[in-house]
Chain A
Amino acid sequence: MNLRVGSRLERVLAGGHFAVTLEVGPPQGSDPEAIRKKASFLRGLADAYNVTDNQTAVVRMSSIAGAKILLDEGLEPVMQMTCRDRNRIAMQSDLLGASALGIRNCLCISGDHQKASAAGKLKGHPGAKNVYDVDSIQLITILKGMRDNGVQEGGDKLTSPTKFLIGAAWTPLAPPESFRVLRLAKKVEAGADFIQTQAVFDVPRFAASVAKACDMGLTDRAPILAGIIVPRSARMLKYMNSNVPGIEIPDDLIGRMESAKDPKAEGYKITVELIQAVRAIVGIRGVHLQAIEAEETLVEIIPMAGLLPRPEVK
C-alpha cells in the first residue's frame, strides 16, 4: 500500500474501512484541560478528530494547539485551516509548525466570514479585517506543493517537506447546485485526498450529488465522508434549515423532532438512521459527526450506529 503520509485516517481509508471522524471544538479560553476532557470521553470512538479553526469566526484556542493537545492524548487530529485569517506566509509557516508537531491531516476551508461572529449571542469581531489572500482550492495546491515537491508557494525550496493528508469540504446542496460537483472536481484535481461534507439530512438529494461525483471518478480519487449533525431539537433543525446555507432538512425530520416526546432520544435515532442511510450510498467512505457543543452525546450515539469497534490498522 502506497501511503502519502501514513496517518491513521489515511490507513483506515486505504484499508477499505468505513471511516469515522468527529468534530472537536476548541474552547474560548486557554485551558488545555477543556480539550483533554473531551479527548478522554471521545477516545476510541473515531479514527480522527477535526479541530476547528475559529469556527463561525469566533476566537477560540488555535486549531494547531488544539490538534497538538489531542495528539498528546493519543487521538489523531484533523487540523482545520481557514483562509480567513492568514495570508500565504502565515499559513505556510503554521503548516511547517503543525507538521513539525506531528499533525498529519489538514482540512482546507474558506472559513466563515467574520460577520458570522456576531450572528448569535456573542459580540464576536465583525469589524475585523479579513485576509483571503488565497482560497481553499489554492490552499490545497499549496499543501500539495509543500508535501510532494517540497516547495513553498512562492517557489522557494523547503529544507524538509510537510506531511499532511489533504482534506477539503463539500457542500453539494448549496446553489448553484449544478456547479457543486464541479467545484468538488477542482478540489480533487488540486490535490484533496479526502472530503468531508456539509451536514446531510436530505439523503436522496445528497445521494444524487454523490452519484454525479462517482460518475466523474471523484470518489475513487478522494474518499468522501458524509457530514452528520446530531439534531437536538426541532428548533435547531428549523434554524439550520433557514439559516445555514447548504443544509436542506426535509419537513418530516423536523416534524419527527417536533412531535417527539423525548427529543434527545429522537435526535439519536435520526442520527443513527442518517448514518446508516449514507453508509449505503455508493461512494461514501465514512462519516464526519458533529455534536455541536454536545460532544458527550457521541459516546452513546456511535455504538448505537454500529460504528464500534474502530478498526485496527497497521
Chain B
Amino acid sequence: MIVAEWKPLPEIIEKLRGHKNVLLVGCATCVAECAAGGEREVETLAPLLTMAMKADDNPIQIQTKTLERQCEWEFVEQLADIIPNVDAVVSIACGIGIQAIAERYPYMRVYPGVNTTSLAIREQPGIWMSRCAACGDCILGETFGLCPIARCAKSLLNGPCGGTRKNGKCEVDENADCVWRLIIEKAESRGELNKLLEIRKTKDWSNSRHGGPKRIVREDLRP
C-alpha cells in the first residue's frame, strides 16, 4: 500500500491561518490501511485541528469527508457540492489523492495533512516497512522475492555492504533487517547461493522517475 504519516500539527495550522471554513478529506484505501488518512483518522484529526486553531486565535469550521478512493476522478467528483462552501481543503490521502483534488478544483486551496513516504506493508500491528521503490525494473525474480532497491539503504545490487550489524540488522536502522542478509539466507536455504554470485550489471533506472515523469500509454484502453 501507499503509506503516509500525519504532518506535525503546527505545520498544518500555519497553512490554515486566515481560513474560516475547511474541508478535511480522507481516503478509504491505502492511507486508511496504514491508519493515516482513513475515516477514523479524519474524525480524529478534525477536532484536534478545531481545538488547535481556536487556541491559535484562528477559529475555523471543519467539515469532514472520506472518499472511497481519492485517486479516482469519479470519487473526487463527490466533493463538488461541498467545495463551494469551504475556503480550503486539507487532504490526508496520499500525494496522488491530494493532487487529484487540486486538479479537479483548481480555484481551491488544497493543503497536505500528511507526508507520503513509501510503498510498504504492515509487518506487525503498528509497524509498516518499505517493500517497493517503484524502480520500473523489477528484479524480485533474482533476489528471492526480497527487494534490495527499496529495502537496502544503499539500493545495492550485488550483495551487502560492510554495514551489516552483528545481529544482522542494517547499520542505518538498528530495527531494520539487512535485506541482503535475508536474501542470502533464503538463497542458502534453497541451496542456490550460487545464483547470487553472478555480477548484476548497472541498472536501467529510466523506467522510473529518473526517466522523467512516468507516463504510461495503453493503446488498447484508449477511446
Partners in one complex: yes
A binding-site residues for B, Cβ under 8 Å? 83-84, 88, 110-113, 115-116, 130, 132-138, 141-142, 153, 169, 171, 174-176, 178-179, 182-183, 185-186, 189-190, 198, 245-246
* Residue from the list B196, B200, B202 in contact with A179, Cβ < 8 A: B196
Cβ A138 vs Cβ B162 within 8 A: no
- Return chain A residues, CB-CB under 8 Å to B178: 175
Cβ A245 vs Cβ B199 within 8 A: no
Q: Does B134 contact A (CB under 8 A)?
A: no
Which of B25-33, B74-82, B165-173, B212-220 contacts the other chain?
B165-173
Closest B residue to A184 by beta carbon equals B159
B binding-site residues for A, Cβ under 8 Å? 153-166, 168, 171-172, 178, 180-181, 184-185, 188, 193, 196-197, 199-203, 205
Cβ A176 vs Cβ B158 within 8 A: no
Given A113-B153, A132-B156: A174 in contact with B199 (beta carbons within 8 A): no
Minimal beta-carbon separation of B196 from chain A (angstroms): 7
Cβ A141 vs Cβ B188 within 8 A: no
In the complex, what distance in Å separates the CA atom of A185 from the CA atom of B166? 22
Cβ A198 vs Cβ B168 within 8 A: no
- Return chain A residues, CB-CB under 8 Å to B168: 175-176
- Return chain A residues, CB-CB under 8 Å to B161: 110, 136, 171
In the complex, what distance in Å separates the CA atom of A186 from the CA atom of B201? 12
* Residue from the list A88, A134, A138, A176 in contact with B160, Cβ < 8 A: A176
* Residue from the list A132, A141, A178, A179 in contact with B199, Cβ < 8 A: A141
Instruction: Jot down 12 A-B pairs with beta carbons below 8 A, ordered by A.
Output: A113-B153, A113-B172, A135-B155, A135-B158, A137-B157, A169-B162, A171-B161, A175-B165, A176-B160, A176-B168, A176-B184, A245-B165
In the complex, what distance in Å separates the CA atom of A289 from the CA atom of B175? 32
Cβ B157 vs Cβ A245 within 8 A: no
Cβ A132 vs Cβ B155 within 8 A: yes
Cβ B154 vs Cβ A83 within 8 A: yes
Cβ A137 vs Cβ B199 within 8 A: yes
Counting from the closest, the 6 A-B pairs by CB-CB distance are A171-B162, A137-B158, A110-B161, A183-B159, A135-B156, A132-B155
In the complex, what distance in Å separates the CA atom of A178 from the CA atom of B164? 13
Minimal beta-carbon separation of A134 from chain B (angstroms): 5
Cβ A189 vs Cβ B154 within 8 A: no
Given A84-B154, A176-B168, A176-B181: A245 in contact with B162 (beta carbons within 8 A): yes
Residue among B154, B157, B164 with the most chain A CB within 10 A? B154
- Return chain B residues, CB-CB under 8 Å to A189: 199
Minimal beta-carbon separation of A85 from chain B (angstroms): 12
Cβ A133 vs Cβ B205 within 8 A: yes
* Residue from the list B153, B188, B202, B205 in contact with A138, Cβ < 8 A: B202
In the complex, what distance in Å separates the CA atom of A175 from the CA atom of B202? 25
- Return chain B residues, CB-CB under 8 Å to A141: 199, 201-202
In the complex, what distance in Å separates the CA atom of A170 from the CA atom of B127? 34
Cβ B185 vs Cβ A176 within 8 A: yes
* Residue from the list A153, A175, A178, A186 in contact with B158, Cβ < 8 A: A186
Cβ B202 vs Cβ A185 within 8 A: no
Minimal beta-carbon separation of B212 from chain A (angstroms): 15
Minimal beta-carbon separation of B155 from chain A (angstroms): 5
Cβ A186 vs Cβ B199 within 8 A: yes
Minimal beta-carbon separation of A110 from chain B (angstroms): 4
Cβ A174 vs Cβ B164 within 8 A: yes
Minimal beta-carbon separation of B180 from chain A (angstroms): 8
Closest A residue to B158 by beta carbon equals A137
In the complex, what distance in Å separates the CA atom of A234 from the CA atom of B95? 50
Given A135-B157, A179-B184: A174 in contact with B202 (beta carbons within 8 A): no
